[in-house]
């Protein structure tokens, strides 16, 4: 499983994203734009190593769903099974 994207409430942001990168310029620009253009929620890159207690829940369509914890908060992870960057970005946009 690769690193993850996560929607974060703006009021809960407590660490800088300056050193966090997906390694893909298109994804990094998409993340940056959500952060600059949102008053409520934005996307943040979270290294996979920061996620704990990851458990598979189900599969459906082109995704796998997992539960886990991040900074002691229970989260749900959607893993999109595609290498097509545009498809992934469109899936993330639909989740808003």
Model confidence pLDDT, tens digit, residues 48-93: 899 999 999 999 888 999 999 999 989 888 888 888 888 888 888 8
CB contact at 8 A, 92 and 42:
no
pTM comes to 0.66
**DSSP category for residue 62:** T
Q: Up-side HSE of residue 12: CA atoms within 13 Å toward CB?
A: 12
What's the number of domains the chain is made of? 1
Domain of residue 61 covers 4-94
How far is 33 from 2, CA to CA, in rounded Å? 22
Q: What is the pLDDT of residue 46?
A: 85
Q: Per this entry, what is the length of the chain?
A: 96
Q: What is the pLDDT of residue 96?
A: 59
Q: What integer best gives the mean pLDDT of the chain?
A: 80
* Range 35-59 average pLDDT: 87
CB contact at 8 A, 77 and 66:
yes
CB contact at 8 A, 29 and 16:
no
């Amino acid at each position: 499983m690769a690193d993850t994207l996560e929607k974060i409430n703006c009021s809960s942001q407590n660490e800088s994203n300056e050193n966090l990168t997906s390694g893909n310029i298109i994804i990094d620009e998409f993340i940056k734009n959500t952060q600059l253009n949102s008053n409520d929620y934005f996307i943040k890159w979270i290294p996979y190593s920061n996620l704990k207690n990851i458990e598979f829940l189900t599969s459906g369509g082109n995704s796998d769903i997992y539960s886990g914890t991040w900074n002691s908060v229970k989260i749900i992870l959607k893993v999109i099974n595609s290498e097509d960057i545009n498809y992934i970005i469109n899936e993330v946009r639909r989740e808003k």
